[in-house]
Amino acid sequence: MAGYVIRRLAGMVPVVLGTTLLIFAAVYALPGDPIKALAGPGRVLSPSVEEALRERFHLDQPLWAQYGHYLGGLVRGDLGIDLQGHEVSDLVVRAWPYTLQLGLTAWAIMAVAGLALGTFAGMRQGGTVDWIVLTATTVVVGVPYFVIAYVAQILLGVNLGWFPTSGVREGWPASYLLPAAVLALFGIPELVRLTRASIIENRYADYVDTAIAKGLPQRTIVVRHILRNSLVPVVSVLGLSLGYMLSGTVLIEGIFNIPGLGYVVFNGISQQNGPVVVGVCSLLVLVYLIINLLVDIVYGLLDPRISLAGRN
Partner 1 sequence: MTVVPAARGRRRVLAVLVAVSMTVLAACAGKSSASDGGQSFAVGIPAFFVQNLTPGSSGSSYVDYAIWSPLTRVDGQSGKLEMLVADSIESTDNVNWTIKLKPGWTFQDGSPVTAQSFADSWNATALGANALTSNASTSIFAGYAAMNPPKGKPAAKTLSGVHVVDKSTLEVTLVKPNALLPYILSSTTFAPLPASATKDLKNFGTHPIGNGPYKTSGWDTGAQDIKLERYDGYGGTKALASGIDLHVYQQTGAIYTDFQAGTIDLALLDGADLSKAKKDTPSQVVDVQYPAVVYLSFPLYDSRFANPQLRRAISMAIDRDAIVKSLLAGNAKAATGLAPPTLTGGGEAKCDACKYDPQQAKAALQAAGGWNGPMTLYTYQDPTNEKVLQAIANQLRTNLGIQKVSFESQPIAQLYQGLGGKSIKGPSLLYSGAPYPHIYALADQMFSAGAPLNVTGYDSKVFAGLIAQAASSKDADATTNYAKQAAEQALTDLPVAPLYWPVGGLVHSDRLSGVVPEVLGGARLSVVKVG
DSSP summary character for residue 223: I
Provide the angle, in degrees to the nearest 10, between the axes of the packed helices 274-302 and 2-29: 150
Which residue, 141 or 308, is less far from partner 1 as judged by CB?
308
Shortest separation between residue 113's beta carbon and partner 1, angstroms: 16
Alpha helices in 204-273 (DSSP H): 206-213, 218-220, 228-247, 250-255, 261-270
The minimum distance between CB 192 and partner 1, in angstroms, equals 21
Write down the least CB distance from residue 289 to partner 1, Å. Answer: 18
Closest contact distance (angstroms) between CB of 205 and partner 1 is 17
Nearer of residues 73 and 254 to partner 1, judged by Cβ: 254
Buried b (16+ CB within 10 A) or exposed e, 213-237: eeeeeeeebbeebbbebbbeebbbb
Contact 203, 122 (CB under 8 A): yes
- Work out how close the CB of 42 gets to partner 1 at its nearest, in angstroms, rounded to a whole number: 5
Three-state secondary structure call for residue 151 = helix
Nearer to partner 1, 57 or 130 (CB): 57
Complex with partner 1: residue 14 or 85, whichever CB lies closer: 85
Q: How far is the CB of 54 from partner 1 (least distance, A)?
A: 10
CA distances, 203 to each of 125, 209, 232 (Å):
10, 9, 15
Q: What is the longest distance spanned by two Cα atoms in the chain?
A: 85
Q: How many CA atoms lie within 13 A of 302 on its CB side?
A: 19
How many Å apart are CA 26 and CA 268, to the nearest integer?
Answer: 12
